[in-house]
Structure 1
């Protein structure tokens, strides 16, 4: 290579560009978990950064279920679900998930991102159209790209914009995709109106309820159940590593739709199944979610404390959210990072969220509330925010 030429693979330059834009991410090595408290480098931190909304990740019933299941099933599924990876534990979990959300059938995936990244291409392809909310999660966005369908991005939660696009669309098939609770804003999609449009324009509606399952709806049955939605045009997807406290994801819908997805979703067909140990632990989680309603009541109390707080720094804006995701929008990457560091120095871990995860100019602190938080934990955080913003 000539001395004055540069390789296209200059990773160092790319990393320096990330540093200059204050966009490089770092990992923390967590040494121990205790509810909302984590130990990092020998230091105990009060964390507002995880998605363990119901505080189940260390629940004794789940831990015991995992121990017993490991003794029975071992720790690996050994193959894809369509070979020999689908155990009796998986079968029972799928039956219980479907009953929990009030839909005919469910299909369990080993993780949430590949679930959506595989579901969208299974449902849409060349000649079809995918309609994606502007703030959809990356897994839905990537799934739309992989589908090779025409992708139309409609304005966030804008039903009229979506209706105009559907009206003008001449594609063979139409698929509407949306988060139910948007992960960085905590805003909630207008699911009733979206389903009405799906029925009006011969479309399917795929809802990603990663941040609503276990938290919203009767008994924690999720956002679709909260809206009373039942339709053969509804496909309901949710992850199980957040409020459920374990791992994996599922999609639920009509029996024929779920059978079709099992036959066509590449991220299901060609991936090794999650261990049966995980499936048994999730079955225990569903029982706790149903039985321990005080956890959702605690979350509502904490959300109310944040919404009722009157002393935010003047240059900060609290996003409009009635969910455990509470965004404090500061604007610049530098301001968000500095606020995160100051809170970190006080033993509080609140992550700074920057582009491309959120739009340019909307860097923020993302407060993630959990039933594992005591009200005094949140008061401590609110006092600290007042100090650093003063």
Structure 2
């Protein structure tokens, strides 16, 4: 009889045989445009370090100072004895930056998306969710008793059909849930059209802006600012553009935040965000919200335009878009892993993405631009892609 451990070993072997194993390469340096991996300096073109602040000395020192003052952590959840002054400062800072009344903090953005739906919506309500939403939104919806509807990615006709169905089914409240920018493809949600449909069918809008906060829209306020609309709830992270550490948040009205603090399980049953993360995030918000942030955003999108143009000219299949996420489409999972391995040999750190992170047959190298990259570094990466692409038969 097959034992449990035999079954696990067989499943791992099958994953590897399909080329779906996701290796974890150990980084021996601070996050940045150049990192150390396996004893060599390599160009890093796959981090979510959009504004280049993850290794910024000001951000690092702000985290150190916060930890020196407040300690390593609270050893408690927020409502027991885990709320520090710096938590309230961070809540106020991110709410003001993004233009909301209030904020609730979570240990991770995954927890924010996991905790938003269940306290606010019940069996009488409906959640209409984009088919390509992040896994954390999908899991959050599963935890909620509201009726579930799904629309094809950014398909406004399908969204309207689902909204009509939800209304016909007698939904009390309807919430449309979408990523602001879809992390695997770099597509930006059609929030202006979603806003119009939400107004027509009296629906709320929730946007996960993890891949938009800090660098899209006016002052980097996010995808909704980029699209010129207002939304009801924004979830986001301090783990990408805003410092690169970890931690998530939900911005909403003060009554909504008050209820979430009473009922959201990831908030009630998880330790408070560490002081070091709070300190680093506060400094990152300060930078992102100011004139320096404007300059960083300008450089970020200039880098993305240069890279996209050069890779297209070289013959690579790129998904269209305006976002600094620029996927290099390869199709085959094994090819994606082989390409990533060869690129590392050529001095470039990128990662192959395959099922279940992306659909089967849609494997890719997801490259990501940072404001910290230079044009010279971009040109070197494109040259490496050309070499690897020709060797592996991806381009001629």
TM-score, scaled relative to structure 1: 0.94
Q: Distance in 2 between matches of 1:51 and 1:168?
A: 37
Instruction: Tell me which residue corresponds to 2:191.
Output: 191
* Number of the residue aligned with 1:375: 375
Does residue 261 (structure 1) correspond to residue 260 (structure 2)? The answer is: yes
CA distance in 2, matches of 1:263, 1:202: 26
In the alignment, which residue of structure 1 is the partner of 2:299? 298
In the alignment, which residue of structure 2 is the partner of 1:210?
Answer: 210
Q: Contact (CA 8 Å) 2:327, 2:366: kept in 1 or not?
A: yes
Task: Measure the CA separation in 2 of the matches of 1:310 and 1:44.
Answer: 23
Does structure 2 conserve the Cα–Cα contact (< 8 Å) formed by 1:121 and 1:147? yes
Q: Secondary structure in 1 aligned to 2:279?
A: helix
Partner SS state of residue 28, structure 2: strand
- Report deviation, 1:244: 0.6
> What CA deviation, in whole Å up to 9, does each residue of 1:203-244 have, x standing for no partner?
22110000100010111111122233235xx10111111001
Deviations for 1:326-371, whole angstroms, at most 9, x for unmatched residues?
0111111122122112111101011111011111111001001111
- The equivalent of 1:223 in structure 2 is 223
**Number of aligned residues:** 383
3-state SS of paired residue (1:30) = coil
- The two structures, once aligned, show a CA RMSD in angstroms of 1.6
| CA deviation map 1:51-110 (0-9, x unaligned) | 011110121211221122112111112211112211111111111111101111111212
Deviation at 1:6, TM superposition (A): 2.1
Matches within 5 A, 1:1-390: 5-7=1-3, 10-33=7-30, 35-169=32-166, 170=169, 171-230=171-230, 234-245=232-243, 246-291=245-290, 292=292, 293-309=294-310, 314=315, 316-390=316-390
Separation in 1 of the partners of 2:184 and 2:313? 19
SS at match of 1:92: helix
Give the C-alpha shift of residue 313 in structure 1.
Answer: 5.7
User: Using the alignment, how far apart are the partners of 1:310 and 1:192 within structure 2?
Assistant: 30
Q: Distance in 1 between matches of 2:110 and 2:267?
A: 12
Gaps of 5+ in 1: none
* Contact in 2 for aligned 1:327/1:365 (Cα 8 Å): yes
Deviations 1:9-64 (A, max 9, x none): 51111111111211122211111125211112211111111101111012121122
Q: Determine the C-alpha separation between the residues in 1 that align with 2:82 and 2:228.
A: 34
Gaps of 5+ in 2: 391-396
Could you tell me how far apart the structure 2 residues matched to 1:173 and 1:8 are?
A: 45
- Aligned mates of 1:107, 1:179 — CA distance in 2: 19
- Is 205-214 or 143-152 further displaced after alignment? 143-152
SS state at 2:116 partner: helix
Shift in Å at residue 129 of structure 1? 2.4
Task: Return the TM-score normalized by structure 2.
Answer: 0.92
Q: Does the 8 A contact of 2:300 with 2:371 survive in 1?
A: yes
Q: Assess if the C-alpha contact under 8 Å between 2:312 and 2:318 holds in 1.
A: no
Q: 1:102 to 1:34 in 2, by over 3 A?
A: closer
Assess if the C-alpha contact under 8 Å between 1:312 and 1:389 holds in 2.
no
CA contact (8 A) 1:312 1:385 kept: no
How much does 1:119 deviate?
Answer: 1.1
- Note closer, same or farther for the CA distance 1:311–1:266 as it changes in structure 2 (3 Å cut): closer
Residue 388 (structure 1) shift: 2.2
CA contact (8 A) 2:242 2:284 kept: yes
CA displacement 1:137-161 (0-9 Å, x = unmatched): 1100111112143322210001110
Deviations 1:249-297 (A, max 9, x none): 1111211122222222111111110122321221111111123122111
Deviations along 1:156-202, whole A, 9 cap, x unmatched? 00111011111012133322111001001000001122222223223
> Which residue does the alignment assign to 2:393?
none
For 2:360, what is the secondary structure of its paired residue?
coil
Rounded to whole Å, the distance in 2 between the matches of 1:187 and 1:122 is 29
